[in-house]
């Protein structure tokens, strides 16, 4: 041992004793949680938890009002006041604009009335919020100054004047989009019938239930001139809303696909109201708007379901149907689709479709577009099988028993009608005669080949005869029932030659036969046997065959 050991603990100052007056402090002793460096390593209370990282071990630390767990007991700022009961001690909480005394100083929302007009930017249950905390003349208690384009009284309306019912009314509703996600593509259109320029700021969009409610807010003035349209949409992004140019975006209001209604209010005035009923009387489209006929523009006429129809024009490529921001298409003309009920509605029996009862209210001439919408699963029929599908009363011959649905759309040169549908039930025919196939007559083709003498006529080399073309004609085929021939099938089924058929499924076509090899002074004959199979509308078949002969002579 070197040096002095005043406290007699066996360790001198020279050997590292950091307190030679206290034998309980020397190198090598275990550290205790008491704020003292017992083992003289320069660190106090090492090995003990320090939850708030303030270099004071939890076991001797005291809780402070600082938002931290100082003493490591799992609680923060315990025993300090929390007047608003939000779990944060008042002394550790900053005042925020929420109508509550957050910091417990007896004042509510202090420092949130910058302009000193007595109204804060958050308001409370009894006092509306100040909408402009930089101007003491603008607050909920101020009167509205007409003509300054400012919402002086913070009610959302700018330069409010006396609004009347029908100043604007709803003209179009997209409640069930198809091309984009519902409700991302929901929107509705209004029309200014007031005869004056209107400011739409502050308009309330709601329903009779009041569950959906939104007041139109905008930093900009939303003007709507006389006889102009304006679109409100739940989504202003044209890339995701179906390509609609939205004038103002709303939220918190859903246009239900089933039964719902839409109210527009300015202050206490219900400016317009429209309801729909899941297709009972109003249109119920998907991917198209409910559109108000321009002849029925008005807040009274738009209450009538007869004034509305389903839009049929696209407003942009690959969009849904409607006319946002434009005059609506007219709901007329009207397509009426029917069929001749006196006809024999059996498979393979022709009947007439009737569209001549369609009309246009203005007496305009109509053009007609018939479409086969659906047919029995085993039918091969398509719209192309409607004879004269652009006529008012075309004909159609079903090929199978079952249900056929047709749609008729008429056009008056300006507007298309909504499709009218007619369903025709076809039964199986009891009897059927098979068709009689007629492949035509046998045909013979002759040709001479040029032969060249070799070695002074010892032998000859002859050119092969060229390919020959034969006309195939099955138009002589007939059916005793009067059924049309549903299919023709030509096939090479035999013979000694080779060849091909150009169009194997046509009544009239051509067969090409390869030319035989030629031999001097000899006629070489090759044949093709061609079989024709025909099938009538009822599926009965018959066959006929002809022989094509090619005679090739070497000369």
Does 175 share its domain with 302?
Answer: yes
Cα 150 vs. chain centroid, distance in angstroms?
39
CB-CB contact of 221 with 158 (8 Å): yes
Is residue 81 one of the residues assigned to a domain?
no
Of 144, 111, 109, the residue nearest 127 (C-alpha): 109
Give, as one character, the DSSP assignment of residue 254: -
358 in Cβ contact with 408 (< 8 Å):
yes
- Give residue 157's pLDDT: 65
pLDDT of residue 116: 64
Q: Are residues 381 and 476 in the same domain?
A: no
What is the rounded CA–CA span in Å between residue 281 and residue 404? 26
Greatest CA separation for the chain = 148
Residues 177 and 297 occupy one common structural domain: yes
Same domain, 180 and 302: yes
Buried-state track 10-47, b at ≥16 Cβ within 10 A, e below 16:
ebbeeeebbbbeebebbeeeebebeeebbbbeeebbee
Q: Which residues contact 267 (CB under 8 A, 6 or more apart)?
A: 155, 157, 160, 163, 202
| Same domain flag for 214 and 186 | yes
Residues 174 and 289 in one domain: yes
Reduced to 3 states (helix: H, G, I; strand: E, B; else coil), residue 383 is helix
- How far apart are the C-alpha atoms of 512 and 524, rounded to whole Å? 17
509 lies in some domain = yes
Phi-psi region of 55 (alpha: psi -120 to 50; beta: other; left: phi over 0): left
Q: How far apart are CA 371 and CA 389, in angstroms?
A: 7
- Cβ neighbourhood burial of 479 (10 Å; 0-12, 13-18, 19+): buried
Summarised one tens digit per residue, pLDDT across range 117-166 is 667 767 666 667 766 665 666 666 566 656 666 665 666 666 566 789 99
Q: Say which residues have a Cβ less than 8 Å from residue 525's Cβ, sequence separation at least 6.
A: 516, 549, 550, 551, 552
End-to-end CA distance of the chain: 141
**Which residues have a Cβ under 8 Å from the Cβ of 213 and sit 6 or more positions away?**
204, 205, 206, 252, 253
DSSP state of 323: -
User: Which residue numbers in the chain have pLDDT < 70?
Assistant: 1-2, 72, 74, 81-85, 87, 89-96, 98-118, 121, 123-127, 130-161
Give the integer Cα–Cα distance in Å for 334 and 363.
11
pLDDT at 143: 62
Q: Are residues 181 and 248 in the same domain?
A: yes
Q: How many CB atoms lie within 10 A of CB 449?
A: 20
Query: 107-114 — which CB contacts under 8 Å span 24+ positions?
Result: none
Residue pair 437/536 in contact by the 8 Å Cβ criterion: no
Residue 127, in any domain of the structure: no
Tens digits of residue pLDDT in 220-251: 889 899 999 999 999 999 999 999 999 999 99
CATH code: domain of residue 499: 2.60.40.10
pLDDT at 100: 66
The single-letter DSSP state of residue 178 is S
Q: Which structure tokens are listed for 82?
A: 């929390």
Alpha-carbon gap, residue 296 to 302, rounded angstroms: 6
Structural domain contains residue 109: no
Q: Cβ(379)–Cβ(401) under 8 Å?
A: no
Residue 142 has what pLDDT?
A: 63
Instruction: Give the dihedral of Cα atoms 4, 6, 10, 11; nearest 10 deg.
Output: -60
Angstrom distance (rounded) from CA 10 to CA 22: 11
**Domain of residue 176, CATH code:** 2.60.40.1260
This prediction has a pTM of 0.44
- What residues make up the domain containing 455? 443-554
| 97 domain-assigned | no
Asked if residue 472 is part of any domain, the answer here is yes
Judgement on whether residues 173 and 291 belong to the same structural domain of the protein: yes
Q: Count the domains in the chain.
A: 3
Instruction: Please answer whether residues 75 and 68 qualify as being in contact, where contact means their C-beta atoms are separated by less than 8 angstroms.
Output: no
- Would 492 be classed as within a structural domain? yes
């Amino acid at each position: 041992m070197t040096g002095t050991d005043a406290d007699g603990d066996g360790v001198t100052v020279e050997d590292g004793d950091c307190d030679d007056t206290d034998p309980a402090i020397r190198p090598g002793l275990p550290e205790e949680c008491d704020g003292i460096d017992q083992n003289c390593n320069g660190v106090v209370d090492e090995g003990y938890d320090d939850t708030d990282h303030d270099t004071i071990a939890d076991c001797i630390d005291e809780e402070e009002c600082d938002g931290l767990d100082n003493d490591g007991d799992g609680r923060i700022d315990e025993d300090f006041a929390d007047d608003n009961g939000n779990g944060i001690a008042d002394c550790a909480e900053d005042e925020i604009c929420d109508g509550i005394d957050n910091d417990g100083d007896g004042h509510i929302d202090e420092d949130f009335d910058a302009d000193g007009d007595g109204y804060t930017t958050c308001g409370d249950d009894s006092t509306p919020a100040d909408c402009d905390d930089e101007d003491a003349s603008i607050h909920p208690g101020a009167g509205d100054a007409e003509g300054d384009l400012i919402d002086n009284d913070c009610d959302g309306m700018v330069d409010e004047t006396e609004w009347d019912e029908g100043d604007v009314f709803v003209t179009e509703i997209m409640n069930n989009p198809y091309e984009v996600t519902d409700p991302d593509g929901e929107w509705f259109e209004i029309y200014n019938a007031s005869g004056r320029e209107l400011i739409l700021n502050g308009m309330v969009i709601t329903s009779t239930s009041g569950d959906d409610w939104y007041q139109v807010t905008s930093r900009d003035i939303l003007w709507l001139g006389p006889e102009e349209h304006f679109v409100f949409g739940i989504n202003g992004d044209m890339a995701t809303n179906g390509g609609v140019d939205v004038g103002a975006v709303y939220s918190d209001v859903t246009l239900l696909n089933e039964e719902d209604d839409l109210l527009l209010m300015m202050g206490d005035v219900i400016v317009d109201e429209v309801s729909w009923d899941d297709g009972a009387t109003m249109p119920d489209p998907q991917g198209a708007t409910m559109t108000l006929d321009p002849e029925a523009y008005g807040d009274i006429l738009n209450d009538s379901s007869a004034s509305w129809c389903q839009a049929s024009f696209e407003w942009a490529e690959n969009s849904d149907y409607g006319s946002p921001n434009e005059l609506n298409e007219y709901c007329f003309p009207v397509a009426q689709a029917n069929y001749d009920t006196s006809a024999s509605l059996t498979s393979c029996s022709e009947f007439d479709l009737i569209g001549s009862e369609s009309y246009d209210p203005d007496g305009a001439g109509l053009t007609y577009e018939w479409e086969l919408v659906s047919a029995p699963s085993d039918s091969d029929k398509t719209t192309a099988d409607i004879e004269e599908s652009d006529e008012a009363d075309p004909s159609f011959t079903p090929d199978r028993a079952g249900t056929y649905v047709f749609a008729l759309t008429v056009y008056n040169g300006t507007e298309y009608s909504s499709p009218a549908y007619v369903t025709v039930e076809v039964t199986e025919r009891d009897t059927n005669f098979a068709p009689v196939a007629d492949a035509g007559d046998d045909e013979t083709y002759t040709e001479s080949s040029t032969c060249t003498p070799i070695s002074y006529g010892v032998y000859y080399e002859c050119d092969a005869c060229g390919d020959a073309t034969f006309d195939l004609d099955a138009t002589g085929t007939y059916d005793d029932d009067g059924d049309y021939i549903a299919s023709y099938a030509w096939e090479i089924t035999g013979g000694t030659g080779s060849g091909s058929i150009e169009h194997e499924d046509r009544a009239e076509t051509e067969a090409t036969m390869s030319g035989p090899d030629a031999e001097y002074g000899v006629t070489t004959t090759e044949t093709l046997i061609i079989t024709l199979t025909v099938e009538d509308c009822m599926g009965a078949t018959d066959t006929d065959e002809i022989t094509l002969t090619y005679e090739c002579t070497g000369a």
